């Protein structure tokens, strides 16, 4: 039984005084705050003063009805020792009892009378001196930190380590809580979780057969909005977080607004009490919110901006990232006053902000203040899959992912691996006769893009050529006879590779559109875009020269004429959108119709003479389909990987001219952990 029942008065432990009412501790004549969990731990130890309290007893008393690890208790004891000035080695106040728990060994006195306050005049001078020293110290530390490399000013540590995918992080305004999505291995839907960052404990808030994701706190922290979706429906919901974190999962939630069911990219931000900004696929919407008599959106979301791959909000500024343009734009909260920032980093994938800092995710993590580059950090593990900044501490939390993008041959309803799991296989293409395929890999040490060739009936893989480019190609396609590859960087150049001699040549530079082969293998047609006008060109394979040409073919023409379908390439800037529109006008299944268009941006469809191979994401599953031109019918072929949509790299479906050899690349074995990068 406890020896002491805690009074409302002060308690003296050894040389410190604890005020349980004001939640403070006095050491060496100075009062300082003590965190509530530390106070609870101290209360339990005082109650059993002189007796060793087991770790299980402490866990049950401090975290009732919550599953936490021993590490959380050890960390809490360490923090308490720092607060009360107890040396970990000497252990003059709290003693560690091996294999049992902890024991309070210091003497205790109750009903302590606080010391006489110091003279107010002396206190004033002392406070002024401390303030002056603090300002001077802060100035010199800031000066040193500003000039120091970014890597020397930040340290990283794992925040989580679960089997599965963790991303979609967002913080409460006081920086004490982080909400995120968690998808266990082999589970098709994600759960909503929240972490108490002080106690390092996680709680699953929502765990159902829906996907519940994109959680975000209201500015006053009384509400949490999130998105619930499945293959048939989607809505934005809110749940009360005004009570203790342990009770949030029991709080009733309500629907705030409807949202599209065909979601690939999704995120929420709550910048103002009555405003929520939502990203659905590549568009941003604004919702005006009322809380009288209950939380609800006043009307449907108003579309603000198109072509958005990621966004972040900092005070009154809205920043958006376009991966196609590799540009970051700044807007107001209504999506107006668009300004392109002068930030230039290769292959930007994510952005996050807090205060005046803007963090950019690419191959590294780069910090900017306005347009000034402050430095870069290299992640200790994985690629940047998602990122967010704690508004209070300025610490950056990154979802660091490791995954394989593998190459697979579709055999009936099975997928047969074709490529090594050691490197990502990108931009696959199958020759028209179905005898071989080519693909691209990236050599990580040198960042070189390497082209590989393999025949289906041969286990050997041939190296073809390499490129030193920061951006990936937009297109890779065989000539009709299979002797050439066209590799197109549509904003920079077109490269032709002779697969017999392995010789490559740049046939044109500039910006390009509408690439397609001549049906008789004579060459390739393309449009070169100019500042004011565009010019049609034809590159003659036998002569090795390019010349102006009047011919150009739209996708609609190519789809309508069988002889042109197999020479169509995805070197059209509107390729995915046009194929998606074509299919959505001909598919009437309510489970598919709204999902076709956004899914074509996820997997590039493949056109062959008799049909179209395309993928559709429904909820969290992705399925491969075959559409036939002659009958207008479509059939389900096989399920693709659950995590197929968790990547910023291109995923492609490709086939020969008759649709017999079908190859896809997709994400496999995706794992991600949350890594925090905080100032030292």
Model confidence pLDDT, tens digit, residues 185-197:
767 778 889 999 8
Tens-digit pLDDT profile for residues 631-661: 999 999 998 875 655 566 778 999 999 999 9
pLDDT at 436: 96
Rounded Cα gap, residues 63 and 65, in angstroms: 6
- The mean per-residue pLDDT over the stretch 531-552 comes to 90
Beta strands in 518-661 (DSSP E): 523-529, 534-540, 545-548, 603-604, 606-608, 611-618, 621-628, 634-639, 651-655
Rounded Cα gap, residues 623 and 614, in angstroms: 8
pLDDT at 86: 87
pLDDT at 157: 86
pLDDT above 90 (res 524): yes
Q: What are phi and psi of 351, to 5 degrees?
A: -140, 150
Rounded Cα gap, residues 177 and 183, in angstroms: 19
The β-bridge relationship of strands 211-217 and 603-604 is unpaired
* CA distances from residue 431 to 176, 513, 570, 661 in whole angstroms, order as listed: 55, 22, 14, 9
CB 500 within 8 A of CB 436: no
pLDDT above 60 (res 431): yes
Q: Is the dihedral of CA 416, 425, 602, 389 positive or negative?
A: positive
pLDDT, greater one: 134 or 166: 166
Q: Report the share of the chain in percent with pLDDT over 90.
A: 41
HSE (CB half, 13 Å, CA atoms) of 578? 18
pLDDT at 46: 86
pLDDT, greater one: 670 or 122: 670
Rounded Cα gap, residues 200 and 380, in angstroms: 21
pLDDT, greater one: 19 or 488: 488
pLDDT above 60 (res 119): no
Tens-digit pLDDT profile for residues 146-174: 445 677 788 888 888 777 788 899 999 99
- The residue whose two tokens read 């340290």 is 155
Which is nearest to 535 in space by CA: 522, 543, 546? 546
- The mean per-residue pLDDT over the stretch 235-241 comes to 92
Average pLDDT score, the chain:
85
The β-bridge relationship of strands 603-604 and 651-655 is parallel
- The SS3 assignment for 489 reads strand
* CA distances from residue 160 to 79, 165, 391, 673, 674 in whole angstroms, order as listed: 20, 11, 20, 6, 5
Which is nearest to 26 in space by CA: 13, 41, 35? 13
- The SS3 assignment for 574 reads coil
In the structure encoding, which two tokens stand for residue 626, read together? 């075959």
Tens-digit pLDDT profile for residues 183-231: 887 677 788 899 998 888 888 887 677 788 899 999 999 999 999 987 6
Which is nearest to 670 in space by CA: 649, 639, 656, 653? 649
Rounded Cα gap, residues 75 and 61, in angstroms: 16
pLDDT above 90 (res 624): yes
- Beta partners for 18? 11, 25
- Which range is least confidently modeled, 33-42, 60-69, 383-392, 393-402? 60-69
pLDDT at 619: 65
With cut-offs at 50, 70 and 90, classify the pLDDT of residue 133. low
Rounded Cα gap, residues 521 and 483, in angstroms: 10
pLDDT above 90 (res 120): no
With cut-offs at 50, 70 and 90, classify the pLDDT of residue 141. very low
Tens-digit pLDDT profile for residues 30-44: 888 888 888 888 888
- The mean per-residue pLDDT over the stretch 454-477 comes to 91
Other CB atoms closer than 10 Å to residue 399's CB: what's the count?
27
- Beta partners for 666? 406
pLDDT above 50 (res 290): yes
Q: What are phi and psi of 575, to 5 degrees?
A: -60, -60
CB 126 within 8 A of CB 134: no
Distance of alpha carbon 650 from the chain centroid = 16
Rounded Cα gap, residues 251 and 332, in angstroms: 34
pLDDT above 80 (res 114): no
pLDDT, greater one: 67 or 292: 292
pLDDT at 642: 59
pLDDT at 423: 81
In the structure encoding, which two tokens stand for residue 643, read together? 């995590």
- Which range is least confidently modeled, 60-69, 221-230, 433-442, 583-592? 60-69
Beta strands in 391-533 (DSSP E): 396-411, 414-417, 426-430, 436-443, 448-455, 461-467, 475-478, 484-489, 493-498, 503-509, 511-517, 523-529
Residue 524 burial (C-beta neighbours within 10 Å; 0-12, 13-18, 19+): buried
For the chain, the straight-line distance linking the first and the last C-alpha, in angstroms and rounded, comes to 43
Q: Report the share of the chain in percent with pLDDT over 70.
A: 89
In the structure encoding, which two tokens stand for residue 303, read together? 């579309």
Residues near 139 by beta carbon (within 8 Å), at least 6 away in sequence: none
Which is nearest to 300 in space by CA: 387, 254, 236? 236
pLDDT at 147: 44
- The mean per-residue pLDDT over the stretch 514-537 comes to 92
pLDDT at 390: 94
Which is nearest to 418 in space by CA: 431, 405, 401? 405
């Amino acid at each position: 039984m406890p020896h002491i029942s805690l009074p409302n008065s002060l308690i003296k432990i050894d040389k410190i005084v604890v005020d349980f009412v004001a939640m403070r501790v006095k050491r060496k004549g100075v009062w300082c705050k003590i965190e509530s969990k530390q106070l609870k731990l101290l209360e339990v130890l005082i109650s059993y003063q002189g007796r060793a309290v087991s770790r299980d007893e402490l866990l049950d008393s401090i975290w009732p009805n919550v599953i936490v690890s021993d590490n959380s208790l050890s960390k809490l004891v360490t923090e308490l020792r720092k607060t009360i000035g107890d040396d970990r080695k000497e252990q003059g106040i709290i003693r560690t009892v091996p294999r049992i728990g902890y024991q309070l060994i210091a003497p205790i006195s109750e009903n302590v009378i606080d010391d006489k306050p110091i003279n107010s005049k002396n206190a004033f001078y002392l406070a002024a001196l401390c303030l002056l020293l603090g300002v001077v110290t802060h100035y010199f530390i800031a000066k040193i930190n500003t000039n120091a490399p970014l890597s020397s000013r930040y340290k990283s540590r794992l925040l989580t380590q679960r089997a599965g995918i963790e991303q979609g992080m967002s913080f409460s305004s006081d920086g004490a809580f982080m909400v995120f999505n968690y998808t266990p291995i082999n589970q098709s839907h994600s759960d909503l979780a929240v972490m108490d960052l002080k106690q390092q404990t996680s709680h699953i808030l929502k765990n159902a057969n829906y996907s519940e994701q994109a959680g975000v706190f209201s500015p006053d922290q009384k509400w949490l909005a999130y998105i619930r979706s499945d293959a048939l429906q989607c809505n934005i919901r809110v749940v009360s977080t005004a009570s203790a974190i342990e009770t949030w999962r029991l709080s009733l939630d309500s629907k705030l607004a409807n949202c599209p069911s065909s979601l690939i990219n999704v995120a929420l931000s709550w910048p103002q009490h009555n405003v929520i900004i939502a990203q659905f696929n590549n568009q941003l919407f604004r919702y005006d919110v009322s809380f009288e008599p209950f939380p609800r959106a006043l009307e449907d979301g108003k579309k603000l901006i198109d072509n958005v791959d990621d966004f972040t909000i900092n005070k009154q500024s809205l920043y958006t990232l376009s991966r196609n343009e590799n540009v970051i734009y700044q807007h107001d909260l209504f999506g107006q006053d668009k300004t392109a920032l002068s930030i230039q980093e290769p292959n930007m994938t994510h952005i996050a902000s807090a205060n005046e800092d803007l963090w950019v995710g690419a191959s590294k993590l780069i910090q900017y203040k306005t347009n000034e580059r402050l430095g870069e950090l290299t992640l200790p593990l994985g690629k940047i899959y998602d990122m967010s900044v704690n508004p209070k501490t300025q610490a950056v939390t990154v979802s660091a992912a490791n995954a394989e993008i593998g190459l697979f041959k579709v055999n009936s309803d099975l997928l047969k691996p074709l490529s090594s799991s050691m490197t990502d296989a990108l931009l696959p293409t199958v020759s028209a006769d179905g005898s071989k395929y080519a693909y691209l890999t990236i050599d990580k040490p040198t960042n070189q893009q390497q082209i590989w060739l393999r025949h289906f009936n041969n286990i050997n893989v041939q190296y073809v050529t390499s490129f030193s480019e920061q951006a990936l190609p937009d297109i890779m396609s065989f000539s009709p006879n299979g002797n050439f590859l066209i590799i197109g960087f549509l904003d920079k150049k077109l490269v032709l590779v002779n697969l017999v001699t392995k010789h490559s040549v740049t046939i044109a530079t500039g910006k390009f559109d509408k690439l397609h082969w001549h049906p008789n293998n004579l060459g390739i047609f393309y449009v070169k875009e100019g500042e004011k006008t565009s010019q049609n060109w034809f590159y003659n394979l036998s002569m090795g020269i390019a010349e102006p040409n009047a011919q150009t073919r739209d996708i609609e023409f190519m789809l309508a004429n069988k002889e042109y379908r197999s020479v169509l390439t995805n070197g059209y800037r509107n390729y995915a959108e046009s194929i998606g529109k074509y299919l959505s006008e001909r598919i009437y299944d309510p489970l598919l119709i709204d999902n076709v268009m956004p899914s074509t941006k996820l997997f590039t469809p493949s056109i062959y003479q008799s049909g179209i191979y395309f993928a559709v994401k429904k909820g969290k599953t992705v399925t491969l389909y075959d559409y036939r031109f002659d009958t207008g019918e479509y059939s389900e072929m096989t399920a693709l990987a659950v995590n197929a949509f968790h990547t910023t790299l291109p995923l492609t479906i490709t086939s020969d001219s008759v649709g017999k050899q079908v190859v896809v690349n997709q994400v496999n074995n995706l794992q991600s952990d949350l890594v925090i990068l905080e100032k030292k």
